[in-house]
Amino acid sequence: MLERFWGPCKVPESASEQDSTLWGYFITLRKESTPPMNIKQQLAEHLAGQLDGIDSDTLAGLLEYPPNPEMGDVSLPCFKLSKQLRQAPNKIAEQLAERMPSHPLVLKAQAVNGYLNVFLEFTAFTRELVQEILTTADRYGSSTVGEGKTIVVDYSSPNIAKPFHIGHLRSTVIGNALLRIFSYMGYKCVGVNHLGDWGTQFGKLISAYLRWGSEEAVRQDGIEELLRLYVKFHDEAEREPALEDEARAWFAKLEQGNEQASQIWREFIDISLKEFDRVYDLLGVQFDSIRGESFYNDKTASVIEQLREKQLLEEDEGAHIVRLDAYDMPPAIMLKKDGSSLYHTRDAAAAIYRKNTYDFDKCIYVTDYAQNLHFQQWFKVIELMGYEWGSNLVHVPFGRVSLEGVRMATRKGNVIKLDDLLRQAIEKTLEIIEAKNPQMEGKEEVARQVGVGAVIFSDLSSNRIKDIVFTWEEALNFDGETGPYVQYTHARACSVLRKAGGGERLAIGGANAADAAGTATVAAELLNDDVSQLVMKQLAMFPEKVTQAMEKYEPSIVSRYLIDLAQSFNRFYHDCPILVDDAKLRSARLALVESVRITMSNGLRLIGLETPERI
RNA sequence: GUCCUAGUAGCUCAGUUGGAUAGAGCAACAGCCUUCUAAGCUGUGGGUCGGGGGUUCGAAUCCCUCCUGGGACGCCA
């Protein structure tokens, strides 16, 4: 049975009318012959029958990719099996090599030094893989493991009235990537922005605003003006300590619902959100819920009450604490001696509210690692309160950003505002485009996509726990392992596909699989050269990379993967001419290019980058 | 002081549920655009995996210890 559809399914938004016709590759597939393509899984199941008491899942976990091609394509180290089977590793490998029944995807298997090295039957492997990628298209690499489950991701969470600087970027882009990855794995995701909109600093701001500020100035300069007022307050307060009391009084009024204080405070929030929204728009980040800490003010009392009931609360030097000695942690202060709540209390209240509202299976907090202890403490408090879902709270910490090794401090003014960084990145991209591709349409839009992509990608390209030392030179470098490099490679693939012309029929089949419609079939065996094979193996790894990224809450796994894929594709692009006269070879290579284009586009979107088709 | 975390090429980093010869990029140098986008590709040089012990068939990966950087440790978040 033949199934036909147009691919790629998505007609690019930016493409002009005539462009979209070029995208109409007519792809003919045999749908019934595309089981999910997972080499490790298939091999594990195949091997499981040969070994007593070892199931396929264990085997799949043991399988690995050998460091070089002479050692095969997938291999099974038999050392761990030797204990259970009471045989020498090389014996096990040899027996497996000899006795293994034939499998369509396996060319041969060799025993080497305790490893069973499996060489793939590349024609079959390539055919199946390409079929799967072209069939699943923008869902290639996705999964349904999360179906019916909900994940709440708390990320970004900037402070009101403070500039959004590059330190806030990490939480935003990591959280956004995790949200997309979990969604891709079938989870229902709720993105939450937990604004820092409460605390004594708002008393200071109100005080400063009334003394030296004006509505016009704030309207005009936004957060810049609020920052100026905040800094001025601190300067003045050094000379006149009475200002601190005034600020405390204003915060007290704000807490009591004083009309004037509340109105000014709301104004600060509006101003700030307006600026944040501009940044979020640029970054392509959206939230399902934006609430400040203030929202949970009236919900902390219930937390305290429950702690009392459970006899967890203890008075100490006037403050109320929960002892955590049994868990090797210092006590968590839940109430100050003046009776007001702290962030432990508010975070706990927020978690309970979210559990009631979203009934999450997991709630993830993306913050820098300075808050490690804080989260461990209140997670434990939630558990002690009797909420068994306390163990489903996850802190995802990341490293800190500094400037040339010096810590950023808003009040000292040594911060890089994200706005400035993005603007410079976009500007530089535009310059490069003017120099290399001046006749391109929609230059501004592409510059935005690539400039912003460069910034996001560089934040996601290394392990999130690593500290980052910011330098302009590095931030604006677009060569090598960067976002622009991956996007450029993607655009290259798009360009070849475009040049191939519309209406070309790409039929994916085996060498002998004559198509019922009489279409020329893509001959997978023409992709058996080393360079093409490397690309195919790389493509096959995408699904497990996405899974790993999810399990480890580590978007950089996807970023690194995209670099690897781009590298192997660029080698292919360089070594193998695609638009050749030989129709069969041309179709085969185009099928590879289309597979790369799909996979790269999926990966880029997962980490929050856009996928321009021309750069 | 206690606890957490990081330390891999000159620089930035991959690689850590223990596996085969530790890999990329940047920078440096040498090549490749009359051919599908040179933001690209190829090659060269570059390593006591912080030091020292240990565990074992095997350690960058696990354990102990020391050194260095970062962080947290009761009324900020």
CA distance A278 to A276: 5
Q: pLDDT category, A386, cuts 50, 70, 90?
A: very high
| Mean pLDDT for the stretch of residues A10-38 | 38
CA distance A86 to A373: 45
Instruction: Tell me the nt nearest to A347, Cα to C1'.
Output: B77
A362 is catalytic: no
Query: Which pLDDT does position A502 carry in this prediction?
Result: 55
Q: Coil, helix or strand for A365?
A: strand
Query: How far is Cα of residue A430 from the mean position of the Cα atoms in its chain?
Result: 26
Tell whether the model's pLDDT for residue A11 goes beyond 90: no
* Contact indicator for A105, A47 with CB cutoff of 8 Å: no
Instruction: Tell me the nt nearest to A450, Cα to C1'.
Output: B39
Query: What's the per-residue H, E or C state across A483-522?
Result: HHHHHHHHHHHHHHHHHCCCCCEEEEECCCCCCCCCCCEE
Query: Which pLDDT does position A510 carry in this prediction?
Result: 38
| Mean pLDDT for the stretch of residues A142-163 | 96
Q: Which residues pair with A314 in a beta bridge?
A: A321
Query: Which pLDDT does position A411 carry in this prediction?
Result: 77
The one-letter amino acid code at A361 reads D
CA distance A208 to A243: 9
CA distance A475 to A470: 7
Q: Which of A168, A355, A380, A395 is catalytic?
A: A168
Pairing of strands A406-407, A401-403: antiparallel
| Mean pLDDT for the stretch of residues A70-89 | 88
For tokens 């399988």, the residue is A63
Pairing of strands A401-403, A468-470: parallel
Q: Which two tokens stand for residue A269?
A: 């929030």
CA distance A540 to A543: 7
Tell whether the model's pLDDT for residue A478 goes beyond 60: yes
> Of A79-93, A227-241, A256-270, A412-426, where does mean pLDDT reach its minimum?
A79-93
Strand B proximal residues, A:250-279, Cβ < 7 Å: none
Contacts of A262 (CB under 8 A, 6+ apart): A254
Tell whether the model's pLDDT for residue A517 goes beyond 60: no
User: For A242-296, what is each residue's pLDDT tens digit?
Assistant: 999 999 999 999 988 999 999 999 999 999 999 999 999 999 999 999 999 999 9
CA distance A71 to A60: 18
Q: Coil, helix or strand for A397?
A: strand
Tell whether the model's pLDDT for residue A25 goes beyond 60: no
CA distance A182 to A547: 9
A330 Cβ contacts chain B strand, under 7 Å: yes
| Distance of C1' in B59 from CA in A608, Å | 37
A469 Cβ contacts chain B strand, under 7 Å: yes
Instruction: Tell me the nt nearest to A61, Cα to C1'.
Output: B17
Is pLDDT larger for residue A505 or for residue A53? A53
| Distance of C1' in B38 from CA in A78, Å | 46
Query: Which pLDDT does position A521 carry in this prediction?
Result: 58
| Distance of C1' in B23 from CA in A482, Å | 18
| Distance of C1' in B17 from CA in A548, Å | 13
A114 Cβ contacts chain B strand, under 7 Å: yes
Q: pLDDT category, A37, cuts 50, 70, 90?
A: low
Contacts of A521 (CB under 8 A, 6+ apart): A507, A508, A509, A510, A511, A513, A514, A515, A587
DSSP 8-state symbol, A615 = -
A165 is catalytic: yes
| Mean pLDDT for the stretch of residues A554-583 | 96
Strand B proximal residues, A:546-575, Cβ < 7 Å: 556-557, 560, 563, 566-567, 570-571, 573-575
Query: Which pLDDT does position A4 carry in this prediction?
Result: 23
A430 Cβ contacts chain B strand, under 7 Å: no
This complex has an ipTM of: 0.96
Strand B: which nucleotides have any atom within 7 A of a protein Cβ? 3-6, 12-17, 19-21, 23-27, 35-42, 57-58, 69-77
Give the count of beta carbons closer than 10 Å to the beta carbon of residue A330: 11
CA distance A547 to A535: 20
- List, as one string, the DSSP characters of A559-572: HHHHHHHHHHHHHH
A333 Cβ contacts chain B strand, under 7 Å: yes
A149 is catalytic: no
Q: pLDDT category, A340, cuts 50, 70, 90?
A: confident
| Distance of C1' in B53 from CA in A466, Å | 29
User: For A187-210, what is each residue's pLDDT tens digit?
Assistant: 999 999 999 999 889 999 999 999
Query: Which pLDDT does position A499 carry in this prediction?
Result: 93
Query: Which pLDDT does position A333 carry in this prediction?
Result: 96
Tell whether the model's pLDDT for residue A519 goes beyond 80: no
| Distance of C1' in B17 from CA in A56, Å | 17
Peptide bond preceding A8 in cis form (omega within 30 of 0): yes
Q: pLDDT category, A28, cuts 50, 70, 90?
A: very low
* Contact indicator for A184, A143 with CB cutoff of 8 Å: yes
A494 Cβ contacts chain B strand, under 7 Å: yes
| Distance of C1' in B65 from CA in A388, Å | 39
Query: Which pLDDT does position A16 carry in this prediction?
Result: 33
CA distance A446 to A482: 16
Q: pLDDT category, A1, cuts 50, 70, 90?
A: very low
Work out the angle at residue A397's Cα, subtended by the Cα atoms of residues A306 and A342, and round it to the nearest 5 degrees.
35
DSSP 8-state symbol, A551 = H
CA distance A526 to A576: 11
Pairing of strands A521-523, A505-509: parallel
CA distance A464 to A223: 29
Work out the angle at residue A577's Cα, subtended by the Cα atoms of residues A126 and A15, and round it to the nearest 5 degrees.
85
Q: Which residues pair with A115 in a beta bridge?
A: A77, A112
A365 Cβ contacts chain B strand, under 7 Å: no
CA distance A508 to A513: 9
